[in-house]
Amino acid sequence: MTTAIYPGSFDPITLGHLNIIKRAVQVFDRVVVCVMVNSGKYTPLFTIQERVELIRRVVERFPNVAVDCSHDLLAEYAKKYEKPVVVKGLRAITDFESEFQMALINKKLNEELETLFMAASEKYTYLSSTIVKELGKYGADLSEFIPREILDEVQTRTRQRS
């Protein structure tokens, strides 16, 4: 069984993230969406456990998708799986530069770990969790940016933080 790990902070999960998940489930037997701690990011909108629960609601329609979280390095977390593949979505060339560097570091730390880059769908190349949070802070309609299953929670939380 080929397992793909789709890591990220997912704070919150966006339609761009969901698009990568939908495409990954067509390629891999199993996809694990793993909420990772990003020490370089500011105070998150949602706790790790809240993000896991929000993602579970969004992906429950996919029988071969699991949701997990980890405080470990990705290369270490991936050792749980036999010949895992990391899936990363790329929106722009700037994403490639940093993600390519991370793929090389992960491979150095775990030589069995491969990385597959998926180009973002054209309609999501501008979309990020950071943009969603900023728009929500100002009361913008987020329905075109995040999955409908979590729309109310995200809009409520972003407005509370403004």
Catalytic annotation, pick one of 91, 107, 137, 157: 91
Catalytic annotation, pick one of 9, 88, 129, 133: 129
Phi-psi region of 10 (alpha: psi -120 to 50; beta: other; left: phi over 0): left
Query: Is 143 a catalytic site residue?
Result: no
Catalytic annotation, pick one of 9, 17, 88, 133: 17
Tokens of 115: 């990385």
Burial status of residue 161 (CB atoms within 10 A of its CB: 0-12, 13-18, 19 or more) = exposed
Query: Is 9 a catalytic site residue?
Result: no
Catalytic annotation, pick one of 41, 71, 108, 123: 41
Taking the C-alpha atoms of 158, 133, 4 and 19 in order, what is their torsion angle to the nearest 10 degrees? Answer: 100
Query: Is 22 a catalytic site residue?
Result: no
Query: Is 41 a catalytic site residue?
Result: yes
Residues involved in catalysis: 17, 41, 91, 129
